[in-house]
Amino acid sequence: MMTQEQCTHRNNVQSSEKPQVYKVGIYGWRKRCLYFFVLLLMILILINLALTIWILKVMNFTIDGMGNLRITEKGLKLEGDSEFLQPLYAKEIQSKPGRPLFLQSSRNVSVNIVNSNNQLLTQLVTGSSGFKARGKMFEVKSTSGKLLFSADEQEVVVGAERLRVMGAEGAVFSKSVETPHVRAEPFKELRLESPTRSLLMEAPKGIQILAEAGDIQAICRNELRLESKDGEISLDARRIRLMRLPEGKASTSSSSSGTRQTVYEVCVCPNGRLFLSQAGTGSTCQISNNVCL
Question: In percent, how much of the chain has pLDDT > 70?
Answer: 85
Residue 139 has pLDDT above 80, yes or no: yes
Q: How confident is the model at residue 14 (pLDDT cuts 50, 70, 90)?
A: low
Instruction: Tell me the C-alpha to C-alpha distance, in Å, between residue 123 and each of 43, 104, 110, 126.
Output: 56, 18, 7, 10
What confidence tens digit (pLDDT) does each residue in 64-89 have? 667 677 777 777 777 777 777 777 77
Whether residue 47 is predicted with pLDDT greater than 90 in this model: the reply is yes
Flag the least confident range among 113-127, 148-162, 254-268: 254-268
The mean pLDDT of 164-188, rounded to a whole number, is 79
The predicted pLDDT at position 44 comes to 96
**What local confidence, expressed as pLDDT, does residue 261 receive?**
64
Give the pLDDT score at 216: 82
H, E, C per residue of the chain: CCCHHHHHHHHHHHHHCCCCCCCCCCCCHHHHHHHHHHHHHHHHHHHHHHHHHHHHHHCCECCCEECCEEEECCEEEECCCCCCCCCCCCCCCCCCCCCCCCCCCCCEEEEEEECCCCCEEEEEEEECCEEEEECCCEEEECCCCCEEEEECCCCEEECCCCCCCCCCCCCCCCCCCCCCCCCCCCCCCCCCCCCCCCCCCCCCCCCCCCCCCCCCCCCCCCCCCCCCCCCCCCCCCCCCCCCCCCECCCCCCCCCCCCCCCCEEEEECCCCCEEEEECCCCCCCCCCCHHHC
Domains of the chain, by residue range, sit at 25-79, 263-292
User: Which residue, 184, 226, 173, is CA-closest to 202?
Assistant: 226
Q: Which of 218, 211, 163, 220 is nearest to 189 (CA)?
A: 211
Binning pLDDT at 50, 70 and 90, where does residue 97 land? Answer: confident
Q: Per-residue pLDDT averaged across 16-41, rounded?
A: 76
Task: Tell whether the model's pLDDT for residue 264 goes beyond 60.
Answer: yes
Buried b (16+ CB within 10 A) or exposed e, 223-240: eeeeeeeeeeeeeeeeee
| Predicted local confidence at residue 218, as pLDDT | 82
Confidence class for position 42, pLDDT limits 50, 70, 90: very high
Residue 46 has what pLDDT? 96
pLDDT higher than threshold 60 for residue 132: yes
Average pLDDT of the residues in 267-286: 84
pLDDT band at 10 (very low <50, low <70, confident <90, very high): low
